[in-house]
Amino acid sequence: MEVDEVVCLPRLSRVAVCGGTHGNELSGVYLVRELLKVKKGVMEKEEEQEEEEPLSVLKVLSNPRAMQQCRRYVDTDLNRCFTHIVSLSPSGLTSGTVPYEMIRSRELNAMLGPKGRSGAVDLVCDLHNTTANMGLCLIAYSDCDWICLHIFRHLQRKMPDIPMRYIHFEVSNKESYSLDSVGKHGFAMEIGPQPHGVVRSNVYTAMKAGVQHMLDWVCFFNSGTLFEGESVDVFTMIKHIDYPRDSETRNITAAVHPHLQDRDFCPLHPEDPLFQTFSGETLRYKGNEPLYPFFINECAYYEKGIALSLARKRRNQL
Amino acid sequence: MEVDEVVCLPRLSRVAVCGGTHGNELSGVYLVRELLKVKKGVMEKEEEQEEEEPLSVLKVLSNPRAMQQCRRYVDTDLNRCFTHIVSLSPSGLTSGTVPYEMIRSRELNAMLGPKGRSGAVDLVCDLHNTTANMGLCLIAYSDCDWICLHIFRHLQRKMPDIPMRYIHFEVSNKESYSLDSVGKHGFAMEIGPQPHGVVRSNVYTAMKAGVQHMLDWVCFFNSGTLFEGESVDVFTMIKHIDYPRDSETRNITAAVHPHLQDRDFCPLHPEDPLFQTFSGETLRYKGNEPLYPFFINECAYYEKGIALSLARKRRNQL
């Protein structure tokens, strides 16, 4: 915006906080369980006193079967099941061999969506963990969603000790595949490093604070607060890099280089060390431009063929 | 030993290096795969030139099915299957419903044992990872096994930058349950922190160096080297502590306290913070004496009801 202009947006009446979309990412699992215990607790009280129409916060445990087994998923990755076609089409979902997560994605779409329709919840915040050293990230499909970007700035201000980034996956709404794409607005809140199947108190506490500040912001917003324009750094995902692999077995033949491990969001320059083979050789980054690595050595992405992702950084004006 | 006395021990002709006993502890998986590639490589060459009877190093991938699925185990924990009775008795192991790991434990016992018999390999080094911040640990059933303790001292001297401890589980040979108990001597080499399902280059490199130095020591020993007596700190496991749990659901209700997380082998005193509940309350250690915590927040032990283990430290004279 080049001139000062007031943008008015409709209030956010229904917000969903989802955990356990991946059953072994435990911060969200235990946080949503805790929120479900606090039925009418602190989170909604303050806001209810001030407003006539209370904010509805849906607390959802997305993949109970995977949680029960402490696995990412049972049959297929639930967080890849929410494309327009798959989540809405009833065809092919009647047979007994349908993956559990396909069925569960339809239930969640009915509960929080339908995706792309007026009945969908206003905002989905889906809670995730990563083994990568990424701090707290909001991951969204848009780099100009006013709601998501302002929530991000609010969290940055309220939690100055937590490294925080906004990541943008450039995918159209039709192609968007994750649970958070079911809401009118949505993002994944991704916090790491934490091993899957483990809950670390510091990560849990950061997520709890992040969710509380997000809900606080929604209350400010709904009460008619005017927010100043400002700038936000946005990391737009450009490409993924796979591990070097044996051409026959497809086993990986190298690990992320120790100079790169844990350096998420530190610029990676051409010829910087990328991998160290199991025999000790260093392999270097052969790109043409410096980019920002993230999801470095994420456990769940070995099977997806991703050793790290690379982003370009840009400053967005709100 | 109160007087200088020379103890003579038989040479170690057959050593087994095992990885993938837990299929998602990846340093050992990739290290043993690498060693299998180097058929007649550096590790055995030097020693073969000097001795008539070459050292036989068996490289074993213990649980291929679990490795293939990148899980700790398929049916049951393989590293609990090697008790005297279970590993040797053929009864009850013919039915089709026998857990895969029970069958595999018999194969491994036939390959490396039989446990407790003269035909067993001289030394088993079983490679493991932990999500706990434990550095490199040798874990053994004896606090006076001359071979294991001298290997430990050799590794300590050769790898001064790696925090290193010797842990002793006070269990009789009959009750010992792990793969390393099949050899005449044996230990687990446990390195962390590393998330299960992830390989970190620094952890892989430490394990590779640890195995190389262990084999070097065996060669020195076999060549008739005289080793001086010396002292070693030994941590003897005293008890386990479980997470606080909901009495109905058995779900955990707290995480390891942030002041304790990652402080493996730092003394835990009575009234020190132990857990932080998901609602934010601090729970304190109620023991009577300071003890040394280890395996703090190990991923695989949630299902075993172990949040941490506690040890007493003692100096052993070799």
Mind giving me the DSSP string for B191-234? EES--TT---HHHHHHHHHHHHHHHHHHHHHHTTPPPPP-EEEE
This prediction has a pTM of: 0.93
Spatial distance between the Cα atoms of A95 and A82, rounded to a whole number of angstroms: 19
Residue B95 CB: number of other CB atoms within 10 A? 6
Choose among A193, A199, A279: nearest Cβ to B255: A199
Does B302 sit within 8 Å of A201, measured CB to CB? Answer: no
Q: What six digits make up the tokens of A173?
A: 């709404």
pLDDT at B228: 86
Task: Name the nearest CA neighbour of B158 among B73, B200, B217.
Answer: B217
What is the sign, positive or negative, of the torsion defined by CA atoms of A40, A43, A46, A51? negative
pLDDT tens by residue, B55-100: 999 999 999 999 999 999 999 999 999 986 554 455 555 556 899 9
Task: Please check whether residue A215 is in contact with residue A55, taking contact to mean a CB–CB distance below 8 angstroms.
Answer: yes
| Residue B227 confidence (pLDDT) | 87
Taking alpha carbons only, the member of A257, A142, A199 closest to residue A20 is: A199
B248 is in an annotated binding site: no
Shortest CA gap A228–chain B (Å): 34
Contacts of B200 in chain A (CB under 8 A): 255-256, 258, 261, 297
Nearest CA in chain B to A278: B34
| Of B29, B205, B306, B224, the residue nearest A257 (C-alpha) | B205
pLDDT: is A184 or B5 the higher one? A184
Confirm or deny that B128 is annotated as ligand binding: yes
Q: How far is CA A224 from the centre of its chain?
A: 27
- Which one is predicted more confidently, B318 or A14? A14
A90: pLDDT strictly greater than 70: no
Indicate the pLDDT class of residue A1, thresholds 50, 70 and 90.
very low
> What does the DSSP 8-state code read for residue A76?
S
Report which residue type is found at B60. V
pLDDT digits (tens, 9 = 90+) for A225-247: 888 888 999 999 999 999 999 99
- Best interface-test mutation with B: which of A201, A208, A246, A253 has the largest number of B CBs within 10 A? A201
Collect all residues of chain A within an 8 Å Cβ-Cβ radius of residue B302: 70, 197-198
**Residue A213 annotated as part of some ligand binding site:** no
CB contact under 8 A, B196 and A196: yes
Report the share of chain B in percent with pLDDT over 90: 81
Q: Are the Cβ atoms of B278 and A197 closer than 8 angstroms?
A: no
For residue B258, list chain A residues with Cβ-Cβ distance below 8 A.
Answer: 200-202, 205
How high is the pLDDT of residue B240?
97
Handedness of CA A126, A127, A133, A134 (dihedral sign): positive
- Pairwise CA distance, residues A267 & A260, whole Å: 10
- Is residue B44 within 8 Å of B54, Cβ to Cβ? yes
**Mean pLDDT across chain A:** 92
Give the HSE-up count for residue A54: Cα atoms under 13 Å, Cβ half-sphere. Answer: 11
Helix (H) or strand (E) segment spanning residue B135: strand B135-140
Q: Do B252 and A30 touch (CB under 8 A)?
A: yes
B52/A301 Cα distance (integer angstroms):
48
Q: What pLDDT, in 10s, does the model give residues B156-190?
A: 999 999 999 999 999 877 789 999 999 999 999 99
Type of residue at A65? R
How far away is chain A from the Cα of B255, in angstroms, using its nearest Cα? 6
Q: Do A196 and B199 touch (CB under 8 A)?
A: no
Q: Can you tell me whether residue B47 is helix, strand or coil?
A: helix
Question: Which is nearest to B308 in space by CA: B247, B251, B263?
Answer: B263
How close is the nearest chain A Cα to the Cα of B8, in Å? 37
Q: Which residues of A touch B251 (CB under 8 A)?
A: 33
CB contact under 8 A, B205 and A256: no
In sequence order, the β-bridge partners of residue A16 are A58, A124
Instruction: Tell me which amino acid residue A177 is.
Output: Y
Whether the predicted pLDDT of B51 surpasses 60: no
Query: CA–CA separation, A25 vs B37, rounded Å?
Result: 35
User: How many CA atoms lie less than 13 Å away from B153 in the CB half-sphere?
Assistant: 17
Closest CA to A186 of A138, A220, A254: A138
Q: C-alpha angle A68/A73/A75, rounded to 5°?
A: 115
Residue bearing the bigger pLDDT, A49 or B268:
B268
Amino acid found at B304: K
Rg of chain A taking only CA atoms, in angstroms? 20
The nearest CA of chain A is from the CA of B201 a distance in Å of 6
Q: Is the pLDDT of residue B26 over 90?
A: yes
Could you tell me if residue A265 is left (phi over 0), alpha (psi between -120 and 50 degrees) or otherwise beta?
A: left
Nearest to A255 among B201, B297, B299 (CB): B201
Query: At A173, is the pLDDT very low, low, confident or very high (cuts 50, 70, 90)?
Result: confident
Cα separation, A114 vs A127, whole angstroms? 20
On the question of a cis peptide bond just before residue B193, with omega within 30 degrees of 0, the verdict is yes
Q: Do A297 and B251 make contact, defined as CB atoms within 8 angstroms?
A: no
B chain contacts of residue A281, beta-carbon cutoff 8 Å: none
d(CA B296, CA B275): 11
Nearest CA-CA partner of B71 in A37, A69, A254: A69
Instruction: Say if residue B42's pLDDT is above 50.
Output: no
pLDDT of A243-290, one tens digit each?
999 999 999 999 999 999 999 999 999 999 999 999 999 999 999 999
Catalytic positions of B: 190
B283/A174: higher pLDDT? B283
CB contact under 8 Å between A198 and B195, yes or no, is yes
Mutation target for A interface from B198, B200, B296, B306: give the one with most A CBs within 10 A. B198
| Packing angle, helices A201-222 and A42-50, rounded to 10 | 10
Answer yes or no: do A195 and B299 touch at CB < 8 A: yes
Judge residue B292's burial from the number of C-beta atoms within 10 Å of its C-beta, 0-12 exposed, 13-18 middle, 19 or more buried: buried
Q: For residue B252, what are the β-bridge partners? A: B245
User: CB pairs below 8 Å between A and B: how many?
Assistant: 90
Chain B interface mutation, best of A261, A278, A306, highest count of B Cβ atoms under 10 Å = A278
pLDDT for residue A41 is more than 90: no
* Contacts of A280 by beta carbon, 8 Å cutoff, 6+ apart: none
Which residue in B has a C-alpha nearest to residue A197's C-alpha? B299
- When CB atoms are compared, the residue of A198, A204, A257 closest to B278 is A204
In angstroms, rounded to a whole number, what is the distance separating the alpha carbons of residues A39 and A33? Answer: 11
Chain B residues with CB-CB distance to A193 below 8 A: 195
The candidate with the shortest Cα–Cα distance to A129, out of A22, A256, A264, A265, is: A22
| Sign (positive or negative) of CA dihedral B282, B285, B291, B297 | negative
